[in-house]
Amino acid sequence: MAASSNSSLSGSSLSSDPEDYQPPIWKSYLYQLQQEAPRPKRITCPHEMESRPKYYGREFHGMISREYADELVGSVEGSYLIRESQRQPGTHTLAVPGPPESIRSPGSLTCFSARRFGHQTLNYRLFYDGKHFVGEKRFESVHDLVTDALITLYIETKAAEYIAKMTTNPIYEHLGYTSLLKDKMVHRLNRVRSEPRRVTFQRDERITSPLVRRTALKDAPERQCSYEKIHNFKVHTFRGPHWCEYCANFMWGLIAQGVRCSDCGLNVHKQCSKLVPSDCQPDLRRIKKVFSCDLTTLVKAHNTTRPMVVDLCIREIELRGMKSEGLYRVSGFSEHIEDVRLSFDREGEKADISASAYADINIIAGALKLYLRDLPIPIITFDLYSKFIQAAKIPNADLRLEAIHEGLLQLPPAHYETLRYLMAHLKRVTMFEKENLMSAENLGIVFGPTLMQPPEQNALTTLNDMRQQKLVVQLMIENEDVLF
């Protein structure tokens, strides 16, 4: 493939403002090939077919032999027809001419199965469930299906070697998206917090206080870190020509040409998506709600270290509710809690949760618990759930705390920071135990199932683990100053 076939990337320009960013000149070679691809030409049946399904047109030829189908489509480039299978009556086959000596390249997006074509006709089992398909892609019409197939077969035949190498020299790191927004986020987060400290729990018989004896500390050097987030890629159909923002090559085909990150809008080939770094910068315009939104996605979209729901609710509770009897145990009216949820979803940090709007502090406490409970990935993540449950079962107090601490170090940074802030708050709640009657154990009973959920969502598992869930949260509250 001649290098001159590609446009130069030297025309790219980076602006200090991401909104003013102009993309580079995209590589045009694959786009040119799509323009050259054969256009579909249906071979119409000269007879009226009474057995023709209502969702097929005159391209349906009824029950004809494969050899006759080969003869009909073999003489015209881009031609196609549909026939009823003689071997399996009631099933339908799409016949299209195969390009000479072509073979599907690895990682292809085409819906056609891999084989060496030669000059023979290709026959594929055709399905209909409201849309037409022979593979993963679904089309409104057979004409669109064949158009996409001809484009894919042509490009992957002519440019197989080029496609295999197109990810070797990506432009991704030169895009304004990564070079500007990522640097801004990393710089801000590095100033706000550092990585959780690593702690060793040791027994020292010379120390008499049980808590101090359990938690003589040795701090490891602190390192800077930022909140990483993987992209939330989903198959996407692009209207009009689109180029991959990782490799700068054209995304070919008629539908489902690539994938788009639903959180930040990054557009890439499906094969390129596997190489994109975990540096998603969610766009607030794409975040539809606050509750039930992934925690890391929300904090990155709002450019905060913790979800604003947690900050605002805790601030309000500490302002006027620390001596409220049964705080977090007593439920507020569910209708009012739902109102708070809708207010956060609509207004974000401008939501009014003051005493003038909700006099009962239990409504605010209930809204905080609802937010934590509705997270798609709990504060203590699914993959670490069993680690914390097993840690709670360790009989030795020192080893149990150390195991919990090791689990905390493995939490995603946004989860760790939110949990740290929440435990510091709950520790302060226990300081008013005489008034609010909420000890660390009582708070553990309330927050255990909220912060820890088994990955299989099995009611029996949750019931069996309730004691350990309670103990984990209780210990994190009691030893908050040591564990975090």
Q: Over the stretch 34-65, which tens digit does the pLDDT of each residue have?
A: 999 999 999 999 988 888 999 999 999 999 99
Q: What pLDDT, on a 0 to 100 scale, did the predictor assign at position 119? A: 57
**Cβ of 334: how many Cβ atoms within 10 Å?**
11
Q: What pLDDT, on a 0 to 100 scale, did the predictor assign at position 469? A: 96
* Residue type for position 482: V
- The mean per-residue pLDDT over the stretch 401-405 comes to 96
Residue 110's pLDDT band, with cuts at 50, 70 and 90, is very low
Percent of residues in the chain assigned helix, strand, coil, to nearest 5: 45, 10, 45
- The mean per-residue pLDDT over the stretch 206-210 comes to 35
Name which of 239-243, 314-318, 323-327, 433-437 the model is least confident about.
Answer: 239-243
> For residue 388, is pLDDT > 90?
yes
Three-class SS string for 211-254? HHHHCECCCCCCCCCCCCECCCEEEECCCCCCECCCCCEECCCC
pLDDT above 70 as % of the chain? 79
Higher pLDDT residue, 116 or 236?
Answer: 236
Q: What's CA 119's distance to the chain center, in Å?
A: 43
Long-range contacts of 28-31 (CB under 8 A, 24+ apart): 28/250, 29/1, 29/5, 29/159, 29/162, 29/249, 29/250, 30/155, 30/159, 30/162, 30/163, 30/249, 30/250, 30/252, 31/241, 31/250, 31/252
Q: What's CA 162's distance to the chain center, in Å?
A: 29
**Cβ of 25: how many Cβ atoms within 10 Å?**
15
> For residue 309, is pLDDT > 50?
yes
Q: What pLDDT, on a 0 to 100 scale, did the predictor assign at position 196? A: 52
Express each pLDDT in 226-272 by its tens digit. Answer: 678 889 999 999 988 899 989 989 999 988 999 999 888 899 999 99
Express each pLDDT in 452-463 by its tens digit. Answer: 999 987 777 778
Higher pLDDT residue, 76 or 275?
Answer: 275
